[in-house]
Structure 1
């Protein structure tokens, strides 16, 4: 089947954008997910018949091979931010990536794109960062020239960063600044990541390359919280939290994950995320990035108003209410 790509984890936050951009580029797409019933809307991202939804589980090699039959390319986006139940870092980031790569190789898939993360490090204190690096190594052990993609914090309407802290600001008078809030990030727009994935799936220059994706500017964690609060029109105390206290907060977050099982309520921080905040999450400059793909990075200021309005008093009508009050 010509021009066919299988996208694992394609119904997620980043996956939806990747599928949309791949469809625009003319690919036929199989979106491989654990529960196809929850991904039916993905077909709306392309023309009639262009996108198919199939069942696959990274723990089940047979299901992976079925999803890859006839594909020319595979994109693996399967990942978790927290460990809950069987959804562990090693199971998904390492063994899952290995299983997908082996299945793709067995089916003769020529191009393999693996989503990793900026900060992936086999020697990190964080299991998340370690398993992301181990996942890269597992894929390279199967494919000689995979495409590795490492984004910084990804933002957009359904993100797990600004939405999480904006929701916290609705109920808490204080927002914690772990380690003083000095850690720097280079947030990248989810739409730009989707464009990059679509380009890398076809680019003849991509195989064997690692790409670091960051936005146009770097911010400290404090600056990001200040930007978010200004956007939602709230004043909250930004409280510096020493590392020992942060470890305690992370342990409480771990406990909440254990109690809620499937992660329906997301904690502000877990013990595994604390060491991640000790290192800046910005591109190194040693690898190609968005500019090399011809993509102009989208600014935070251009996108945040499009979805953080829901946390303002008055929601999408907040600006109108402010104007009306000013006119009185």
Structure 2
């Protein structure tokens, strides 16, 4: 239940997305008024029921337009940037959205005297990576800290939850196809993290409960290979599917074709990303720049996946009520 409004405004760029809607719900429950800064406010109306009448207001803003950013953050006590893309389309380019966009937001926050900025990056951000996605994530982090040295930056591993683009995608594929691809043999390691845990960390940082000027790496309690993740997904939805190894070279060739579609299932840049493990670094662990240091106990995949993947079972969600066959 939401608290009485506290009179403070928090602006959330990219608030209509997967992580954004969970973050906004938590902030609304804590009594904040929220501006969900999005390119198309008509596509963010689903956020309004997460709070009281008038508490959550979608506003038109683009990280490519400084004036719209200035208007969106005016009077805010904190700003959160969750904007990111998995592939390029039209004017949405990695450099524009993930490097220059964060720089614009940070510069505007500095100009307007807003002291609290929370920026969402990703594990794997690296200026020397072969992936443009990872390069621009690193550039965005640098731009933010250059302008706002006390900003908080979060790098999550693969984020899972009801609207995720990982387990839901492969669950849907398992309904249609007798086999699933293991890019690079399925050896890439992930540390999947529950969206609610990430949203909680972001909300706490917006309330200045997190030490600024640091890059925190967020991973779940389990490290699992790509193959282990798909095996767990198949076990959860009670389907048997062949897991077929797809060498990086073949995956790259297929990605060149697939990335020509408006919403590609795979791009060359994503193949490059999969060549490196996506887990919390030893440095972050030793320095407690993790959930442990934030005082948050992350949820496991086993606890959460059955709560939303049951729709992919042979008989849908009702299969959850049936006993497993021995």
In structure 2, how many angstroms separate the alpha carbons of the residues matched to 1:44 and 1:236? 39
Which residue of 2 is the match for residue 42 of structure 1? 47
* Closer/same/farther in 2, CA of residues 204 and 172 from structure 1, 3 Å limit: closer
Q: 1:311 to 1:204 in 2, by over 3 A?
A: closer
Instruction: Tell me the secondary structure at the aligned position of residue 320 of structure 2.
Output: helix
Shift of 1:24: 2.3
Aligned equivalents of 2:320, 2:159: Cα separation in 1: 27
Tell me which moved more, 168-177 or 118-127.
168-177
| Alpha-carbon distance in structure 1 between the residues aligned to 2:76 and 2:208 | 16
Cα shift readout 1:235-282 (whole Å, capped 9, x = no counterpart) = 1111112221121122122122xxx3xx2xx41x21101121111111
8 A contact 2:310–2:320 mirrored in 1: no
Q: Is the 8 A contact 2:11 2:78 kept in 1?
A: yes
Tell me whether 313-322 or 63-72 shows the greater mean CA deviation: 313-322
**Count of aligned pairs between the two proteins:** 317
Give the match for residue 3 of structure 2.
none
SS at match of 1:239: strand
**Structure 2: how far apart are the matches of 1:175 and 1:72?**
46
Q: 1:272 and 2:273 equivalent?
A: no
What secondary structure sits across from 1:319 in the alignment?
helix
Is there any run of 5+ residues in structure 1 with no aligned partner, and where?
Answer: none
SS at match of 1:255: coil
Gaps of 5+ in 2: 1-5
Match of 1:74, SS state, is strand
Quick one: distance in 2 between partners of 1:40 and 1:274?
Answer: 34
Q: Match of 2:38?
A: 33
- Of the candidates 3, 21, 31, which is equivalent to residue 16 of structure 1? 21
Q: Which residue is 1:250 aligned to?
A: 255
TM-score for the superposition, normalised by structure 2: 0.93
Equivalent pair of 1:314/1:321 in contact (CA under 8 Å): no
Task: Tell me the CA shift for residue 217 of structure 1.
Answer: 0.7
RMSD over aligned CA atoms reads: 1.7
1:120 equivalent in alignment to 2:125: yes
Indicate conservation of the 8 Å contact 1:3/1:27, yes or no: yes
The Cα shift of 1:185 comes to 0.4
Alpha-carbon distance, 1:111 to partner = 0.7
List 4+ stretches of structure 1 deviating above 6 A: none
Q: Following the alignment from structure 1 to structure 2, what is the Cα–Cα distance between the partners of residues 276 and 99?
A: 26
Q: Which residue of the partner structure matches residue 156 of structure 1?
A: 161
Deviation sequence 1:290-325 (CA, Å, 0-9, x none): 1222211011111111111111111111134557x9
